[in-house]
Each structure stands twice: as C-alpha cells, then as structure tokens.
C-alpha cells in the first residue's frame, strides 16, 4: 500500500491520509507502462470481495474483478499518455450476503494520469468525489 503526500505541483488534491494500492504488476498485463494505483475505496467497492460468515474467499475472483477494472481503464486510455483525467465506467457486483440476488451495477470512476511528488507520471483510479 502506498500513501501519497499532497504536492502543489500535482493536478490531484490528495489528502495526506489517503491510501492507494499499487496494482502495477497486474496492470502490465494490459500494457500499462506507467505505475497504476487504485484508492482503497475503489478497491473495497469494485475489486475486493467481502468475507461473509467466515467463508473462504476465492482470490481468483478478486483478481478477475481487478482485471475487469484495469481492462476498462486500458480501453479508456487507448495509448494516451498526456496528463489529463478521463471518466471510466465499470460494472461491478456489489458485495452482499451470498444468499441475496446480485446483479452488476454501473459505477463511474475517474482515471487520471498525473505527476507524483517526485515528478514521475503515474495513473490513479478513484471515485469522482475523491
């Protein structure tokens, strides 16, 4: 997990406590050349699967959800490397009690290419209100 500090030279407004997950190794499968991070809130809502009633969670299912988000992000960027923001829509199945009917729901995310505190280009996936 990586924590970014606010820098006046970045285009993003990160709070000092905001946490990000480094998903760069998986993002390379989708030809990302820059480091890729997702916020903890995106991870919990769109990628992670909640453990209900101490049942074993299939790590492969979590990886599949991560790959879906990264595939949609790669499709959105389609070779763009300039510093800018892009809207991204993914479909995720909400975490719920396994006995409940679950259908995919559209979720809007924000994908941005920007500079970190060391002036290196990175990709961040977050909710629009973060």
Render pLDDT for 63-84 as a digit per residue (tens, 0 to 9).
999 999 999 999 888 766 666 8
At residue 89, the pLDDT reads 92
Total domain count, the chain: 1
Q: Which residue has the higher pLDDT, 102 or 74?
A: 74
Using pLDDT thresholds of 50, 70 and 90, give the confidence band for residue 97. Answer: low
* 52-61, 85-94, 95-104 — most confident range: 85-94
Task: Evaluate whether 18 touches 33 at the Cβ level (below 8 Å).
Answer: no
14 has a pLDDT exceeding 50: no
Which of 36, 122, 102, 40 has its CA nearest to residue 72? 36
Task: Evaluate whether 68 touches 48 at the Cβ level (below 8 Å).
Answer: no
5 has a pLDDT exceeding 60: no
Summarize the confidence of residues 47-62 as an average pLDDT: 75
Which residues fall within 8 angstroms of residue 112, CB to CB, at 6 or more apart?
11, 12, 84, 85, 86, 123, 124, 126
Task: Evaluate whether 32 touches 123 at the Cβ level (below 8 Å).
Answer: yes
Range of the domain at 96: 2-8+17-126
Strand 2-3 and strand 105-115: the pairing is: unpaired
């Amino acid at each position: 997990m990586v924590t970014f500090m606010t820098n006046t030279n970045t285009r993003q407004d990160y709070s000092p406590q905001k946490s990000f997950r480094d998903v760069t190794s998986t993002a390379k499968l989708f030809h990302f050349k820059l480091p890729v991070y997702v916020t903890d809130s995106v991870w919990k809502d769109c990628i992670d699967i909640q453990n209900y009633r101490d049942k074993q969670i299939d790590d492969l299912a979590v990886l599949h959800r991560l790959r879906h988000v990264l595939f949609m992000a790669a499709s959105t960027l389609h070779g763009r490397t300039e510093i800018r923001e892009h809207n991204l829509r993914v479909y995720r199945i909400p975490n719920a009690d396994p006995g409940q009917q679950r259908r995919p729901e559209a979720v809007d995310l924000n994908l941005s290419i920007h500079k970190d505190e060391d002036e290196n280009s990175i990709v961040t996936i977050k909710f629009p209100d973060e």
